[in-house]
């Protein structure tokens, strides 16, 4: 985050909450009449939008009036940021970075041959 965002947060921001990644969420103390309040996030570490969990994403984009913290279902997986470009990125079987070999087809696939 830059100095302008920090200064705006200090002057006009009201702390709303923090997520499991350490990102802090704010809204305007006093919104101008006839305009929606501003909502923003101060990222913990790198500025990466995929680090915002769905509960807070809904609040940031005015899909909910309050953050949905603590309302996760038992079957829901925990949020993970986009890992593309990191050493933890997903590579499907057969990808060059996984050896370039994949399992043989199981018989349910028949390649197309022009007639």
- For 74, which DSSP code? T
Instruction: Give me the pLDDT at residue 10, please.
Output: 93
Query: What CA–CA distances, in Å, run from 33 to 3, 26, 36, 37, 66?
Result: 27, 19, 8, 9, 20
Judge whether 3 and 26 are in contact, CB under 8 Å.
Answer: no
Instruction: Give me the pLDDT at residue 71, please.
Output: 67
Selection from 2, 37, 41 nearest residue 24 by Cα: 41
Query: What strands lie across the sheet with 24-28, from one edge to the other?
Result: 13-18, 24-28, 39-42
Q: Round to whole Å and give the CA distance between 6 and 79.
A: 26
pLDDT tens digits, the chain, 115 residues: what are they? 688 888 999 999 999 999 888 999 999 988 778 888 999 999 998 888 898 988 899 999 998 888 876 667 888 888 888 888 888 898 888 888 877 777 777 777 778 889 8
Query: What CA–CA distances, in Å, run from 102 to 2, 10, 109?
Result: 46, 54, 14
Beta bridge mates, 40: 26
- For 77, which DSSP code? P
Instruction: Give me the pLDDT at residue 73, please.
Output: 80
**62 CB-near residues (< 8 Å, 6+ apart):** 36, 39
């Amino acid at each position: 985050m830059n100095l302008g965002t920090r200064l705006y947060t200090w002057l006009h921001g009201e702390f709303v909450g923090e997520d499991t990644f350490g990102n802090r969420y704010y809204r305007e103390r006093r919104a101008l009449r006839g305009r929606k309040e501003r909502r923003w996030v101060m990222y913990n570490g790198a500025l990466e939008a995929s680090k915002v969990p769905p509960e807070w994403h809904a609040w940031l984009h005015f899909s909910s009036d309050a953050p949905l913290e603590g309302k996760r279902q038992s079957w829901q997986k925990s949020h993970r940021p986009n890992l593309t470009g990191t050493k933890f990125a997903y590579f499907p079987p057969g990808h060059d970075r996984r050896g370039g070999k994949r399992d043989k087809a199981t018989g349910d696939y028949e390649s197309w041959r022009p007639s």
